[in-house]
Chains A and B, each alone.
Chain A
Amino acid sequence: MGISLGILTDNKRLNLLPFDFSCWNGTKSGAAIISEYTVDESKFSLNILAHDILFFQVELGTFNSIVSSFVKGPRANEKRDHRKSENHFLVNQIDYPTVRTIIRDYTRSLFQFRWNKKDMEARMCEQENVMQCSQFVLKLVLYCMDMKILQVTFENRHKIKSLVFQGTALHPHTLFTTLKTMNFCYHFSQQCKVTLDEKTLTVRKMCIDSPENVLDVPAVRVWEYFNLQKNK
């Protein structure tokens, strides 16, 4: 699964930034290009088709800080401070977990019957530098909850936080079914229209065909994209 940014227009159309900032197997996290899916039998490439979209609305200030976090890489000599993990959420250049780590986390999650805040903080520290796609999204949701950007009931908060214990074994479908039931998240159906690089597509016509090609996208490029969209 992936994360991107967009503007929802009045006619329920989504202007989507043509970059996905997720973590892909075999690369560090970063921006991969979302494009229109065109079947080309002669091209032997990895095409990953979009299937569903969930989204939630944020204020402009939050939107800008999330843009900055996606595009900003960790400084070479800067060690991340785990104690401050609640005050920042994610940056690019995060490693993808190994298969062994995923299996280990899956096994551990089977035996996690109960947990407290301290357990959760400890587990989140472990997950600071190695993440797969669902964890990446989960971390963003947790950040928005902690910063009071999202208003979440106690029960839903507990439901979301308990997913931390699945670690790298958190399956995108588990996250999808959890987020879909939350009152802050909206489902963009497969028939809804998405504007991607000036083309109008349905959700299912979008794909990532080179997830291994991660780009460095400067924040100014993201803002320029949305400014251009706004002026059309």
Chain B
Amino acid sequence: MGLPCLGANQKYVIVFIFYSAKTVKFSFNTLALYAIQLYEDKNGMSDH
């Protein structure tokens, strides 16, 4: 893994991005993921 050679005098920031709840069109993939999650929840399969 290469070492970074960024300048020490720059302002490095950690960024928290807050997303909006509006939008949205669901893809079939996303719907499928939600369906799987609901199925697993219902059957107690994925709880940690």
Contacts and interface: CB of A to CB of B under 8 A. Distances in A.
Interface of A: 1-9, 14, 16, 20, 25-27, 34, 43-60, 62-64, 66-67, 95, 97-101, 129-130, 137, 140, 144, 172-173, 176, 179, 188, 206-208, 212, 218-220, 223, 226-227, 230
Task: Name the prevailing secondary structure of the A interface residues.
Answer: mixed
Given A16-B15, A44-B25, A58-B14, A49 B20 contact: yes
Interface of B: 1-8, 10-20, 22-30, 33-34, 36-38, 40-41, 46-48
Given A3-B17, A56-B14, A58-B14, A46 B46 contact: no
Contacts of B22: 49
Given A5-B12, A25-B33, A60-B8, A223 B18 contact: no
A62 B7 CA distance: 14
Contact of B15 (A14, A46, A49): A14
A117 B17 CA distance: 29
Nearest to B22: A49
Given A60-B12, A98-B46, A49 B19 contact: yes
A140 B6 CA distance: 22
A188 B23 CA distance: 22
Given A223-B5, A223-B6, 10 more contacts: A6-B13, A46-B26, A50-B17, A50-B20, A53-B17, A56-B14, A98-B37, A208-B19, A212-B30, A227-B6
Given A7-B11, A220-B2, A223-B2, A44 B16 contact: no
22 contacts: A2-B17, A4-B15, A8-B11, A25-B34, A26-B33, A26-B37, A44-B27, A48-B20, A53-B18, A55-B13, A55-B16, A60-B12, A62-B12, A63-B6, A95-B48, A129-B48, A176-B18, A188-B15, A207-B23, A219-B2, A223-B6, A230-B7
